Amino acid sequence: MIDYTFQWRVVWRVWPELAKGAVVTLEITVLSMLIGLAFALVFAVVRRSRIPVLSQFVHGWVELARNTPALLQIYMAYFGLGAFGIHIGAYTAVLGAIAFNNAGYLTEILRGGLESISRQQRMAALSLGMNRFQAYRYIIFPQVMRIVFLPVMNQTIWAMLGTSLGMIIGLQELTGATAFQQSLTFRPFEFYFVAAVAYYVIAKTIILASRLAAARLFRG
């Protein structure tokens, strides 16, 4: 019925290239999440503080990040910034765009987490003599962490899958490396199938690791 000979050996032969791509994928995932989280932590607090200009800036950022395709954001970084004389490589463009996107989504996740903590908690902390920073650091954030942990992990998976867009602007992450290798052999199915399995394994590993971490961090 199927008139097609599967050839897996051509994929096996270049596995180090694919592994290199996977490393780039993981790198961008971790970095973009760290950068995104750093921005989002500040943004979420700013959004709640309702400081006039800053708060609107954050609001605009969140809306832009959430309402335009990630691919458009990558194009913007890679092609669009050229208009301002900023020329960045594919790696930086993908990292920047995914981090921008992450910051937008994570701000909303963290804001939701902050809102779920009742105001009395903060008042109690302040009345115990803590300053505002201490109240956030020791009372509010530990509770928020517990609430936002799973959504943040979902965002990590999303960021990991999102790095595959790098392939479109020629970045050699896992998908890009796959695309390049298959273009040498014209075996798209075999190559992309292996890449799909690799992504699946990475995603499952992240989920498993986060479950273990959650069980340890938030027990009792």
Partner 1 sequence: MGSTAVPLYSSGFSWGDFELMLQGAGITLVLTLLSGAAGTALGIVVGWARTLDRWYITYPLVGYIDVIRSVPLIIQFILFNSVFAILGFRISPFWSGMFTLSLYIGGYVAEVVKAGIDSVPRNTRRAARGLGMSYFQDLRYVTLPIGVKAVFPAWIGLMLGLMKDTSLIAVLGATPPELLRASQIIINRIQEPLLILLGAGVFYFVMCAVISRFGGRVEARWAIERGVLR
Contacting residues toward partner 1, per CB under 8 A:
2-4, 63-64, 66-72, 75-76, 79-84, 157, 161-162, 164-165, 167-170, 175, 178, 188-189, 192-193, 195-196, 199-200, 203-204
Would you tell me how many other CB atoms lie within 10 Å of the CB of residue 198?
19
Provide φ and ψ at 7, rounded to 5°.
-125, 100
CB of 36 or CB of 166, closer to partner 1: 166
**Closest distance between partner 1 and the C-beta of residue 55, in Å?**
20
Burial of 61 (0-12, 13-18, 19+ CB in 10 A): middle
**Closest distance between partner 1 and the C-beta of residue 162, in Å?**
8
CB of 91 or CB of 145, closer to partner 1: 91
Nearest to 163 by CA among 106, 95, 102, 210: 95
CB of 51 or CB of 208, closer to partner 1: 208
Would you tell me how many other CB atoms lie within 10 Å of the CB of residue 131?
10
Please report, for residues 66, 73, 86, 121, 203, the alpha-carbon distance to residue 100 in angstroms, rounded to integers and kept in the order given: 10, 8, 17, 31, 21
CB of 113 or CB of 162, closer to partner 1: 162
CB of 15 or CB of 79, closer to partner 1: 79
**Closest distance between partner 1 and the C-beta of residue 26, in Å?**
14
Nearest to 192 by CA among 169, 166, 164, 170: 164
Q: State the DSSP H helix or E strand holding residue 77, giving kind and residue range, or none if neither.
A: helix 70-78
**Closest distance between partner 1 and the C-beta of residue 93, in Å?**
12
CB of 87 or CB of 137, closer to partner 1: 87
**Closest distance between partner 1 and the C-beta of residue 175, in Å?**
6
**Closest distance between partner 1 and the C-beta of residue 1, in Å?**
8
Burial of 20 (0-12, 13-18, 19+ CB in 10 A): middle
Q: What is the DSSP code string of 188-202?
A: HHHHHHHHHHHHHHH
